[in-house]
Structures are given as structure tokens and as C-alpha cells.
Amino acid sequence: MTTETLNNHRIDFKMSPRDLINIGIFGAIYIVTIGIFNALEFIGPAMTLVSSWASIIAAGVPFMLFLTRVKHPGMVTVFAVIVNGFMLLIGSPPVTLVIGLVAAAVAEAVLYAGRYRSRKLSVIAYAVFSTWFAGLFFPMYYARQDFLTSPYMKGMGDDYVRQLDTLLSPTVLAAFDVSTLLFGLIGGALGLRLMNKHFRKAGLV
């Protein structure tokens, strides 16, 4: 391990146009994957969480493939900026961009620790990157307050409101935030497995 840090390849921030094109292409594949699996939420509001979990798992495949083409520090961050910027434009809460940037920076640090080569660390990096999904549900923290105090809820009785409050407690919401990390690990592992099973054979990696 220590010898590896010695032949530390030069940190080269300069990205070639080809790198930028790769980022764009995988960004597009990532977004379409998320969009398709997120479409599940139109089945009903209760499916919203399930659909994000499905998207996190499914999007692990393109992301892991993307990581095989990352050669310079900053590529994951640029990826996060354009993906989350796009999400912002189609209506995700602005806090998602902030979370996405922080998550990408941490993911880059994890990748860097593995010299952008470690497969195990790339799974962890994907899990960290996926935590930006938590940002999508951040308004639920305060939207809940809006909803609980709305005039509509006044008619339901205090008991009901209290029950609802405990069900939607910050703990439950925090559990969702943590679950993005867990599903990110599953998605990363799935991506790694499918990469070995299909793409390596086809010469696409």
C-alpha cells in the first residue's frame, strides 16, 4: 500500500475534450436511468421512496462504468455539477446541488485514496455520491411542518396529527437519508458485477 503512494501518478486536473464528452455521455445515461426508474413514483405517492431506491440501484451500473473512464481528479465533481444542475432545472430543490457537490467531493477523495484504481473503493464512492438523493426529500422536513399546521389538518384532531408526526419523525426521514448510502452500496456492487458479467466480455470497459 505504501509503495503505491510512492509511484503516485501526477495529479493532472486538465481534462481533455474527450474526458468532457465522456462526462456528458455518462451524465445523460445516468439521468435517463434515474428518470425511467423514478417514473415509478407516478403509481402513487407512497412509491416515491421506493422509486428513488430503485433509481439508486439501477444508476449504479452506468456510474461504475463511468468510473472506469475517470482519469483525472475533478471528473466526478463536474459530473455532479451537470447532473445536479440538470436536476435543478427540472425542479429538484436547490439544496440538492449543494449536497451533490459535497458528496462528489467526498467521493473523489475516496477514489483518490484508491488512486482511481481500487474497485472496492469505487463502490464506496458510488454510495457516497448517491447520497445526493437525500437532498430531493429535504423539503419533506419543513413541508411536513407546513402540512401538519395546515387548516386541513386542524379538523383531524390532535391525536391524529401527533400520530402522523411520530410516523414522519426526523428519525424516519434520517433513516431514508442513510438508506441512500446503503442502496448506493447495492447499486455499486450490482454495477461492478454486471460490468464483469457483460461489459468486460464485450470490450466496452
Segment 62 to 91, residues that bind another protein, using CB under 8 A: 62, 65, 74, 78-79, 81-83, 85-86, 88-91
Q: Are 54 and 34 in contact (CB under 8 A)?
A: no
CB 32 within 8 A of CB 62: no
At 17, the amino acid letter reads P
186 and 57 Cβ atoms separated by less than 8 Å: yes
Residues 80-139 that bind another protein (CB under 8 A): 81-83, 85-86, 88-95, 137-139
CB of 166 to another protein, least distance (A): 8
Using CB under 8 A as the binding rule, whether residue 199 contacts another protein is answered as yes
Interaction pattern, residues 157-176, with another protein; x per rule: CB under 8 A: x--x--xx--xx--------
Stretch that binds another protein, among 1-9, 53-61, 116-124, 174-182 (CB under 8 A): 53-61
Q: How many CB atoms lie within 10 A of CB 118?
A: 15
| Residue 188 near residue 66, CB atoms below 8 Å | no
Which is closer to another protein, CB of 124 or CB of 195?
A: 195
Judged on CB neighbours under 10 Å (0-12, 13-18, 19+), 190 is middle
Q: Measured from the CB of residue 165, what is the shortest distance to another protein in angstroms?
A: 9
Distance, CA of 53 to CA of 58 (rounded, Å): 9
Q: How far is the CB of 45 from another protein (least distance, A)?
A: 4
Beta-carbon contacts of 45 under 8 Å, excluding residues fewer than 6 positions away, are none
Taking the complex as a whole, the smallest distance from the CB of residue 8 to another protein amounts, in Å, to: 24
Q: Which of 3-11, 105-113, 124-132, 147-155 is the region at the interface with another protein (rule: CB under 8 A)?
A: 147-155
